[in-house]
């Protein structure tokens, strides 16, 4: 049976309603990246972009079925040892300008709080994320394939499947230092005969963030350089995190207490970093590990439910209620057997 048919059957049986009743004491923290006017870029970043229309439908669904609170309120609830029933929290990573253009009007209209995690160096310098530069080059080249030396390995990329090539390369690049990433971008540019576009990512500005702060939008740290919290030594990683806190504190006149791990998989988070954040004034840190948050969970490893372009009404309901994260975990376990 096709996965889509299976999910439609679960939805038809209202398994998500049952799961929501079972999981009413747990919180769901949604994680978005980008919201766009249409799905023009869908092919490029299937996991990252939600259309504005879908975002509106999702927020309406959430408002009808959940108590939507801010991440700061969830932390206070954790301190009191009980989450409000059926709680949802809305978060965005990376600080793309489209969050202001397309998500913020919907959040404002529905009077919903949200948190956006910012990698401060990109706002300060206006430089681009490496994945945006890779995507730009891959989608503008006339070449049909390329090879790159990555560590000891010579890796081939087939550009008939551009989106797959971008994902495949970016997954490898996230494990490298910023200097190594720059070398790969230069090599790629020469090889694909596409000049680098260092201004391809479009970010929020400080003035827009200040405006959003007045309307229930808070801002959390996402490191200064968007380096994985597992690449480099503890001091280097922590100083990058603290730099983003310092910049946010100064620019937005706030005391930043919340953090999102860049890339956010288990392998992107060093244990000493998650254990060290509390000493530097942080109250919680969120990952991109899929799942609901239980009251007893470590607040420096809170899971989230990632929402992307593939998430239609059925998948959204099954994801937020905890059904899809549970099925994914089960599938991973079966594959590991």
User: What is the smallest separation between the CB atom of 31 and Zn ion, expressed in angstroms?
Assistant: 10
Question: At its nearest, how many Å lie between Zn ion and the CB of residue 19?
Answer: 28
* Placement of tokens 């100083």 in the chain: 239
Site for Zn ion contains 262 (CB under 5 A): yes
Q: Count the site residues for Zn ion by CB under 5 A.
A: 3
Nearest CB to Zn ion, comparing residues 83 and 122: 122
Q: In this chain, which of 10, 44, 58, 94 binds Zn ion, going by CB under 5 A?
A: 94
Is-contact 214 113, C-beta < 8 A?
no
Q: In the set 93, 121, 240, 289, which binds Zn ion (CB under 5 A)?
A: 93
Residue nearest to Zn ion (CB): 93
- Of 87 and 229, which CB lies nearer to Zn ion in the complex structure? 229
Span of 82-90, 169-177, 202-210, 256-264 interacting with Zn ion by CB under 5 A: 256-264
Query: Shortest gap between Cβ of 288 and Zn ion (angstroms)?
Result: 9
Nearest to Zn ion of 283, 304 (CB atom): 304
- Cβ distance to Zn ion smaller for residue 93 or 240: 93
Q: What is the smallest separation between the CB atom of 290 and Zn ion, expressed in angstroms?
A: 16
Residue 335: CB minimum distance to Zn ion, A: 26
Residue 268 lies near Zn ion (rule: CB under 5 A): no
Q: Contact residues for Zn ion (CB under 5 A)? A: 93-94, 262
């Amino acid at each position: 049976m096709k996965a889509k048919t299976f999910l439609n059957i679960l939805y038809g049986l209202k398994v998500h309603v049952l799961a929501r009743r079972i999981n009413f004491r747990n919180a769901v923290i949604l994680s978005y990246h980008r919201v766009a006017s249409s799905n023009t870029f869908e092919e490029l970043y299937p996991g990252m972009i939600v259309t504005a229309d879908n975002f509106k439908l999702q927020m309406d669904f959430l408002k009808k079925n959940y108590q939507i609170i801010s991440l700061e309120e969830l932390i206070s609830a954790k301190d009191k040892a009980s989450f409000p029933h059926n709680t949802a929290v809305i978060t965005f990573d990376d600080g793309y300008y489209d969050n202001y253009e397309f998500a913020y009007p919907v959040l404002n209209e529905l009077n919903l709080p949200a948190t956006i995690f910012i990698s401060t160096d990109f706002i300060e310098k206006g430089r681009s994320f490496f994945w945006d530069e890779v995507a730009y080059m891959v989608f503008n080249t006339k070449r049909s394939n390329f090879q790159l030396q990555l560590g000891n390995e010579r890796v081939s990329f087939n550009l008939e499947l551009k989106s797959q090539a971008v994902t495949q390369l970016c997954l490898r690049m996230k494990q490298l230092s910023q200097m190594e990433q720059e070398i790969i971008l230069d090599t790629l540019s020469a090889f694909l005969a596409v000049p680098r576009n260092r201004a391809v990512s479009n970010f929020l500005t400080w003035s827009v963030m200040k405006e959003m702060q007045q309307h229930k939008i808070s801002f959390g740290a996402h490191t200064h350089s968007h380096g994985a919290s597992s690449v480099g030594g503890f001091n280097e990683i922590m100083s990058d995190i603290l730099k983003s806190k310092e910049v946010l504190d100064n620019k937005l006149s706030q005391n930043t207490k919340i953090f999102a791990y860049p890339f956010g998989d288990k392998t992107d988070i060093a244990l000493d970093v998650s254990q060290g954040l509390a000493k530097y004034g942080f109250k919680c840190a969120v990952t991109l590990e899929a799942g609901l948050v239980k009251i007893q969970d470590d607040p420096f490893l809170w899971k989230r439910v990632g929402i992307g372009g593939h998430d239609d009404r059925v998948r959204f309901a099954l994801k937020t209620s905890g059904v899809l994260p549970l099925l994914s975990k089960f599938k991973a376990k079966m594959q590991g057997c």
